[in-house]
Structure 1
Amino acid sequence: MSTPDLGLPMTVPAPGLPERVRIHEVGPRDGLQNEASTVPTEVKAEFIHRLADAGLTTVEATSFVHPKWVPQLADAEELFPRVRDLEGVRLPVLVPNSRGLERALALGAHRVAVFASATESFAKANLNRTVEESLAVFEPVVTRARDEGAHVRGYVSMCFGDPWEGAVPLHQVVHVCKALLEMGCDELSLGDTIGVATPGHVLGLLSALNEAGVPTDVVGVHFHDTYGQALANTLAALQHGVTTVDASAGGLGGCPYAKSATGNLATEDLVWMLQGLGIDTGVDLGRLVATSEWMAGRLGRPSPSRTLRALSHKEQ
């Protein structure tokens, strides 16, 4: 009797789900940003190339934040030219202010992101400003980026819970999301920064956004797996019609300004679920797993991705 091939999940589509999902890979930026030891620029560049080779069409490359605040990403000017010519791959970069935007544009970046907060406490901790002050800083950044023909993503952190303030009222999140869209952002990413969301909460926020005039097709989701809810929350978002999901290869990353934030949703775990549902991502799971194993080796520790661990164990 032959041994069954358990390398890929059985495909059983579920009703009411999108045919295709775009994975917004954040490993090279969000995943590496708070690593204690400096990752060499050439390793970061190879990481991005390997992710692209695995079929990921959106790979967030780096951040043009001041090196004092995120030392790990101080090599943005050196890194971005090494990857910017990858064919068919979107390479968004984070820009915290006008200076960061000018640095990114000078290197030929065509996709940028700003990083807002839905709560006052996190805005103070991460941006050293109030929510309204931070939005005022972003407005000329978004305007300038759009004038230069760049695509702009608006991250909204602490959409579901805040370590200082607790549960976040839906109307606060809706306010920040609408402000970002009104100033010209092309898309939004709803961040569950400390991983406290549950599926009903996700559906409630998405419905509240729709009721306020924010269409689902400009919304992406960014879940952390602190309480093991990231995939359940993702499925709820897909059922609502969301087709953009943030994830980090190998489950790398968290948030340096929110100590209770554990790792991002692992891209391998997301791809396994989507493949089982018959949803197209364009990602080769085997190549992705190999890439995350390679990166884990460079970081000197195992990946928290359950899918990666399961598939790696089968090969031993």
Structure 2
Amino acid sequence: MEQIDILVSEVGPRDGLQSLQQIMPTAAKCEWISLLAAAGVREVEVGSFVPASVLPQMADTAEVVAHAKTIPGLDVAVLVPNLRGAENAVKAGADKISIPLSVSETHSLKNVRRSHTQMLEEIHSIAELIAAQPAERRPYFEVGLSTAFGCTLEGPVSEELVVRLAVLAIEAGAAEVGLSDTTGYANPAQVRRLVKKVWDAVGRERLNGVHLHNTRGQGLANALAAMDIGITTVDASMGGIGGCPFAPGASGNIVTEDLVFLVEAMGLRTGIDFDGLLRARNYLAGALPGVEIFGFTPEAGLPRGFQNT
């Protein structure tokens, strides 16, 4: 498989769809994921193991994981809110499990109904569950530090608390932490500063990725700031769909198509083919009639003479 410089992790099937009133049929989700993989996308967060009563959009995650696991070379990621969700994810065969640990405790109580102490206990239990699996069935375990740059419910978030929770998450057994701008508060200077602080506390190998929202139009600027200092994984959502249903106003992930163009235009490799990406986008638009999708690059087209690296 071709070596890449930046891993663009597609989160649309989870973060994108969870915020929509419309429920995408399982067969359509599976076809969309197949088209993403055919375009060269290497990691897809295909769903979330949460109760269907909370997010009916995610009720078919086990079925979607089963399909995604048949696609050669695709890393199948899922989000879980607790140990029970992790048990279901392990049973389904997910390659990667992420759990949100909101730095804003108010958001944590709203999002997963648990305090910091309770979430750290869940993280420890999940780490034990994973360690007990045979090596070939052991998923990678990441803790996403949600609201790391600010919170619509609490306002500013302490950077020292972000760092402390990163350390505690690693001590509890997570392989890695990620920084999430759940509410679109971040700016490039803040991104650079906070990434470096977490690196100093847990080591560079324990923080490789960021999850950024474009709520205030800063998404690509923040992604560039992160990549400039050495971050190698950036989450994005096709068409910019998504947000957090438990954080008012947190609309809009980074548009996958625009992020891929940014990275490739700088001469870095994503391994993603634009023609294939646009086929996946067109399919998504047809599968979600009436849902607005975004993106400058698909609207404007690629510059004359532009080629994927």
Q: TM-score, normalised by structure 2?
A: 0.91
Q: Give 1:105 shift.
A: 1.8
Who is 1:242 aligned against?
231
Give unmatched runs, 5+ long, in structure 2: 305-309
Q: Which of residues 199, 217, 222 in structure 1 aligns to 2:211?
A: 222
- Is 2:294 aligned against 1:304? yes
Q: Give RMSD over aligned pairs.
A: 1.8
> Out of 18, 21, 43, which is 1:36 matched to?
21
- The CA deviation at 1:66 is 1.1
- How far apart, in 1, do the equivalents of 2:88 and 2:254 lie? 30
Which residue identity does 1:237 align to in structure 2? A
Deviations 1:209-263 (A, max 9, x none): 1232332563311110011111111111111111111111111111110121011
- The answer for the alignment partner of 1:204 in structure 2 is 193
Q: How does 1:281-292 map to 2 (within 5 A)?
A: 281-292=270-281
| Residue aligning to 1:64 | 49
List, as ranges, runs of 4+ consecutive aligned residues in structure 1 with deviation greater than 6 Å.
Answer: none
Displacement after TM superposition at 1:184 (Å): 2.2
Equivalent-residue separation in structure 1 for 2:17 and 2:215 (angstroms): 18
SS for the counterpart of 2:18 is coil
2:180 aligned with 1:195: no
The 2-side partners of 1:254 and 1:307 are apart by 21
- Aligned position for 2:307: none
Task: Quote the residue 1:74 is aligned against.
Answer: 59
Q: CA deviation at 1:293?
A: 2.2
Give the SS at the match of 2:284: helix
Report if aligned partners of 1:250, 1:308 keep a CA contact under 8 Å in 2: no
| Whole-angstrom distance in 1 between the partners of 2:189 and 2:38 | 36
Aligned to 2:101, which of 101, 116, 131? 116
Deviations 1:40-82 (A, max 9, x none): 0000111110100010010111111111111100112222222
The alignment partner of 1:29 has SS state of: helix
CA-to-aligned-CA distance 1:256-279 (integer Å, 9 cap, x gap)? 101210110011010110011001
Q: 1:144 maps to which residue? A: 129
Q: How many residues align?
A: 296
Indicate if the aligned counterparts of 2:177 and 2:206 stay in contact, CA closer than 8 A: no
Structure 2 residue 149 is the aligned partner of structure 1 residue 160: yes
* Secondary structure in 1 matching 2:9: strand
Q: Is the 8 A contact 1:217 1:241 kept in 2?
A: no
Q: CA separation in 1, counterparts of 2:300 and 2:282?
A: 12
Distance 1:282 1:217 in 2: 24
In 2, distance between residues paired with 1:122 and 1:139? 21
What amino acid maps onto 1:79 in structure 2?
Answer: V
Instruction: Judge conservation of contact 1:249–1:267 (CA < 8 Å) in 2.
Output: yes
- Structure 1 position 39, deviation (Å): 0.9
Query: 1:142, 1:35 → 2: CA distance?
Result: 31
Distance 1:185 1:126, change over 3 A: same
Where 1:43 maps in the other structure, the secondary structure is: helix
> Which residue in the other structure is 1:257 paired with?
246
Q: Which residue of 2 aligns with 1:134?
A: 119
Partner Cα distance (1:122, 1:276) in 2: 37
Q: Deviations over 1:254-310 (max 9, x none)?
A: 111012101100110101100110010000012112211220221113421121222
| Cα distance in structure 1, aligned partners of 2:229 and 2:205 | 8
